[in-house]
Structures are given as structure tokens and as C-alpha cells.
Structure 1
């Protein structure tokens, strides 16, 4: 099947040799979202209105702070904080009652409800969560329609536990009959073969700290820890 614009990121991730192509897709998308947020778009009124409302989770605000565009972050923070002050003044005017209303929900004051909603929102997480499911759909589309993708999938280094679970549970919604069985068999094999491979490397990494193994070769264990972190925590350490 000829590459389409929506299959290119998936093929690139599977070609990367990463311990989890879906972690690679997520990390690349996160990076693109950071660049989008801190690029010229932060000056656009519609984007600023969304960031004013949603702001960022702790992980992504730390990533934004690490960027060079401190002025852009300061501008977004300033207008976001102005909105929070205005909204919380209105919420405080409602008192400590927990009656449902424009801001409040059962068991919470308007203040508590507003802050809970703010803590649960993130402009970058929201952008990622709208795009990432399309990558999952594309994997199943390629399994059904791209004969070159199946061996690439089977020969990959598998997936982290988290993304293995997503693919396993989503498979019956995307595939039926023989295709479902073949995909599930391939997924299970590639997951267990590779998580056991990496865990074996981690075991040898540990054993190398035993003085009796001082002169033994490292084999494939020097980078076992960051690879193991991908498998166990769906996090790429760079």
C-alpha cells in the first residue's frame, strides 16, 4: 500500500527501532504540541482563549518552561491568571454552599468545583488526546490493508505494557474473525517475546554490579534501564 499522510508517522515509529512504537508516536506528538504551543500560535486569539481556560498540567508546564520562549509562556500565564482571578471571584461570591449551579457540582463549592476542573485540564494533553487515537486506528487500518505492515509489526520490538493493553482491548472493535485472531496472536507474541528480552537485559544489568561479574561482558544491558522504563512505564528517557 502506498504511504498516505496518515500512515507516515506510524511507519516512521515502527521503523525507528523503539521498544514501543506507540510511545514514540506519543512522544513525537507531545513534542509537536509543545512546539505548536510555544510557536507563533500563542499570539492568536482563539488559541489564547483556550489556554486561558485550560492552562497546562504540571508535566507540560515544566516542559514549556524549559523552552526558550519564556515571554510567550509569561503572556499565556498572565491572561490565564487574569481569567482565574475573575472566575474565582465570582465563585467565591457564591459562598461555601454545595448546591449545583453554573460552577458547582454535588458535594463541592463553586470554588472547589472550579479548581478541580482546572486541575484536570491541560491544553497539550487535550490536543494529544484528540490526535493519538487516530494512530491506533491507523495501525488497525494498516494491518487490514497494507501487506508490508504485517511483517513490520511482527518484527518490531513490541510494546510497553500500557499500549499493549490498548491494542489488545481495541482489536475486537476493529477486526473480526481470522484477522482478529491473527492480529491478537502476533500482538501477544511480540509483546511477551520483547518484554522478556528487555527484562533479561535488566537482570544482567543488576548482576553486573556483583563483584563476581566485574570482568564479564555487559552484553545488551548497558542501556537496559531506559529500555525497561519504556516497557514498564510507557515513558521514553532521552
Structure 2
């Protein structure tokens, strides 16, 4: 039963007419994560503690701001900033930057390996690398990727569905290419990579051909020519190259 929590969405995504099933899965996870974040959950102490600590990435704070619940955004930002100000002030009071940059921070002489990094800068770096919404999405998405390999091994119908798909965006092609050796034996891996390469390159070339015709169609000599499959080629190319689904 627990496995169906993942196999059903994966099957649905691969049944959809889309340029990248993983983009579709990621989009739905993102939508659900934003709805959760902007719902009553932000008033719960444990969730607020996490938003205070993790903050939000630029993409997801823009999506949150687009939500009707501006008060919720304000409350989360307020307590997040309270924590950030308090902790950064404490670090700034202790930090003593040294002139000379990297060499001045060497701890073991001129040939020492590495350098001490300011705790204040480390704090900011960590803050910039975390996002409450991303942290909700990532574990489930990773499970979806694992499920794809599980179904490839166990479900012949799913294997056929993947082979007949329109491939993947470059980003998600890379994820599957990287993770496959961890999930499959050599025979399974050889077959999977051959299929993965085939559907990725054939379909990105198909979309690129549609974009090329979209460009050519704007030549006055092609004014009366048919648009073929090029009218939505820009949106589809954005999926392939930027793993982003554009809503019209």
C-alpha cells in the first residue's frame, strides 16, 4: 500500500502527454508544498521553527508572495528575520576580519592547507543554501526517482510506457543517468541507458526542429506555410532546457 503512494503518481506522469514526466512530478510536489506552507501549518510551532531556520529560496518566496495569504508570508518573514538578526549580530560582534584576504587567514603558515572562513560568512552561506519548501519536495522527489527504477525492473507495462514517452528535460535526464548505476545491475543498466539516451536525444532533437520551424515561419517567404507543430515549441523547449513548465 505504501508503495502505491509513489507508483501511482509516477505511472500517471508517464501516462500524460508531456515533454518530461519528472518535470510534471516536480511541479505537482512544488504546488502541494506551497499550499502546505501557506496553509494553517505556518502557525504550528515546529513548522515555524523550521521556516525560521531554513528560510526560503528566491523561487519559492516569489511563489509564496503570489499567494493571497500575505499575512502568512509576513508572519513567517518576521520571525525568520528576528532569528537571523539575533544570530548574525552575535556572530558579527565576535568576528574580526583581517586585511589581506585569503593569505591572512591561513592558520598554519604560508603552505597550510585550506583557510579559516568567517563564521558570519559561513552562516550566510548556509542560509542561502536552505529552503523550507525545497526540503519538503526533495525527499519525495528522490523517492519518485527510486520508484522509476523499481518499476523498470518489476513492471513490463511501465517499461513500455517509458520507452514510448517523449523523453526528459536535460536536468532530469542527468539525474536518471547518474542514479541508474546505483539502482540496476549491469544488464539492466545497459538496457536502461540505451533507452534513456534514445528517448532523450530523439525528443530534444524533435523539439529543436519545431523551434527551428517556428523561427523559419516568421520569414515572410513562409507566411502562407503551415505552422506544423511549432506554435507551442518555445514552451516545450523551455521544459527540455530549463526543466520549467510554462503555463499559458
Q: Which range is displaced more, 183-192 or 225-234? A: 183-192
1:165 maps to: 174
Provide Cα deviations, 1:152-193, integer angstroms capped at 9, x if missing partner.
001111001111111112112111132222212211111111
The aligned runs of 1:12-161 (5 Å cut-off) are 12-97=12-97, 106-161=115-170
Matches of 2:142 and 2:68, distance apart in 1: 30
Matches of 2:71 and 2:64, distance apart in 1: 11
Q: Do the aligned partners of 1:201 and 1:220 also contact (CA within 8 Å) in 2?
A: yes
Q: Which range is displaced more, 126-135 or 156-165? A: 126-135
1:196 maps to: 205
Matches of 1:109 and 1:182, distance apart in 2: 49
Give the match's secondary structure for 1:6: helix
Q: Do the aligned partners of 1:199 and 1:228 also contact (CA within 8 Å) in 2?
A: yes
* Cα offset, 1:97, TM superposition: 4.3
Match among 187, 195, 214 for residue 186 of structure 1: 195
Matches of 1:43 and 1:66, distance apart in 2: 19
* Cα offset, 1:107, TM superposition: 3.9
Q: What number of residue pairs does the alignment pair up?
A: 231
1:176 maps to: 185
Normalising by structure 2, report the TM-score.
Answer: 0.89
Residue 242 (structure 2) pairs with residue 236 (structure 1): no
Matches of 2:61 and 2:74, distance apart in 1: 11
Give the match's secondary structure for 2:156: coil
In structure 2, runs of 5+ residues without a counterpart are 99-104, 106-113
In structure 1, runs of 5+ residues without a counterpart are 100-104
Matches of 1:129 and 1:116, distance apart in 2: 20
Provide Cα deviations, 1:198-217, integer angstroms capped at 9, x if missing partner.
11100100001100000000
Give the RMSD, CA atoms, in angstroms: 1.6
Change (3 A) 1:29 1:68: same
Matches of 2:135 and 2:96, distance apart in 1: 31
Give the match's secondary structure for 2:9: helix
* Cα offset, 1:15, TM superposition: 1.3
Matches of 1:81 and 1:112, distance apart in 2: 17
